[in-house]
Amino acid sequence: MTGKRVYVGMSGGVDSSVTAALLVERGYDVTGVYMKNWSRDLPGMKCPWAEDLADAKRVAVQLGIDFKVFDFENEYRHKVVDYMIDEYKKGRTPNPDVMCNQEVKFKLFLDAALEDGADMIATGHYARIITRDDLAYLQMALDANKDQTYFLYRVSGEALKRVLFPIGEYTKPQVRDMAKERNLFTASKKDSQGICFVGQIGIRDFLRQYVEEKAGNIIDKKSGKIIGVHEGAIFYTIGQRHGLNVGGGLPYYVIGKNMDLNEVYVTTDLNDGALWSNQIRLIDIHWINSHPKASQYKIRVRHRAPLIMASLDYSNDGLNLSLENSDRQVASGQSVVIYDGDICLGGGIVV
C-alpha cells in the first residue's frame, strides 16, 4: 500500500492523531483533513471547533503532512442536526452519531476526498475491516470496551473498501502510549463527551435552543396521580431515571409519554412490562453487504450493551426481533445492530 494517498479525518483528538501517525509510518501518502461540521456557540458553552482545528493542525505539522479543511457545516445541519431535532419533536430518541457516520464521515467526506485525489480515507474509529471475496466486512475492534461498530452499522460495504481503521487493532491505553511515545501534541488531551458535533453539552441543553420549554404533568402509571411537573415531554426517553425531580421514596422511571398531551408517565416498579420486552420492531433496515441468510443472530440494543441472541423475522417493510429473554425496552428512534460473531452485519431503527 506504500504510496497510496490517504486523507485522514483529524478531529484534534488523540485517536485520529495516532491514526495519522501510524499511516505515515506505514508508508502512505497522508493528508490530514479537519471536517468543520459545527461552529455555533451555545449559551454557556463555547463550541470547541477552533481549538480542535488548531490541535489537528499542530499534529499535522509534527507529522510533516499536508492539511486541509473541508467545510460541511450546511450539509451537516440539514442531514444530522435537523434530523435529530425533528425526531425528538416526534417523541423519538435518535442517535446523531449513527447519522453522522452515515451521512457525513463515510459519504460526504469520502466523496470529497476521492474527488480531491485521495485513494482512501481513514478515521480514528475503534473498528476493523476485513476483506473476503471482494467484499469489505466491518469487524469489532480489538478493544471491546471501545468498539464503535454500533455507530458504524449504516456505512456501506462499498464505502468500507475505501476506508482504513488503523487503531482498531489496539486498545485505548495502547493508543495513548503510542501518542506519548511519538510526543504528539494531543497525547494527553481528554476524550470528547456529549453530543458528537457540539462537545461538552448534554442533549437537553442543546434541544433547549431549538424547542420551546412547555410544562406538563408527570403521572404515576399505577395510581394515575400527578406527582410532578416536567419542562417538556420532548426531553424524556423511555427508561430514563435521572432528571425527573420527583423527590422522596423509590426512584421513578419513565415508561411512556404523550407528545400531544405533553405528559410523561412513570413508575417505581422495575418489573413493569413497559420497561421490558422480548420483541423489537425495526424499520429503515440497512445491511452493510448482502441480506443475511440465517434466522438467528446476536444483537446489540445500545452502545456497550452485551450481545444477546435474537430470532429474525423479515417482513416487506421491516424486521421483527424475538429475544431469548426479555431486555430493557429500547426507545423509539434508537438503533439495534446485528452481528454474526464479531462481524457487524447491519441493523435498523426501533419503531
Residue 252 pLDDT level (bands cut at 50, 70, 90): very high
- Decide yes or no: CATH 3.30.70.20 for domain 276-350: no
Residues 6+ apart with CB under 8 A from 123: 8, 9, 16, 19, 105, 163, 165
Residue 47 bears catalytic tag: no
For 107-163, write each residue's pLDDT tens digit: 999 999 999 999 999 999 999 999 999 999 999 999 999 999 999 999 999 999 999
- Decide yes or no: CATH 2.40.30.10 for domain 212-267: no
pLDDT of amino acid 197: 54
pLDDT of amino acid 1: 56
pLDDT of amino acid 61: 98
How far does the chain reach from its first CA to its final CA, in angstroms?
A: 43
3-state secondary structure of 126: coil
Residues of the chain with CATH 2.40.30.10: 276-350
For 4-37, write each residue's pLDDT tens digit: 999 999 999 999 999 999 999 999 999 999 999 9
For 185-216, write each residue's pLDDT tens digit: 999 998 876 565 555 567 888 888 889 899 99
Pairing of strands 66-71, 135-140: unpaired
Residues 6+ apart with CB under 8 A from 230: 215, 216, 217, 218, 236, 244, 245, 264
Which among 24, 113, 196, 275 is annotated as catalytic?
Answer: 196
CATH architecture assignment, domain 5-203: 3-Layer(aba) Sandwich (3.40)
* Closest to 33 measured CA to CA, from 46, 18, 16: 16
Residue 196 bears catalytic tag: yes
Residues of the chain with CATH 3.40.50.620: 5-203
For 78-116, write each residue's pLDDT tens digit: 999 999 999 999 999 999 999 999 999 999 999 999 999
Which among 6, 81, 100, 345 is annotated as catalytic?
Answer: 100
Helical (H) or strand (E) element with 348: strand 343-350
Residue linked to cell 419542562: 231
For 291-318, write each residue's pLDDT tens digit: 999 999 999 999 999 999 999 999 878 9
pLDDT of amino acid 54: 97
pTM of the model: 0.93
Residues of the chain with CATH 2.30.30.280: 212-267
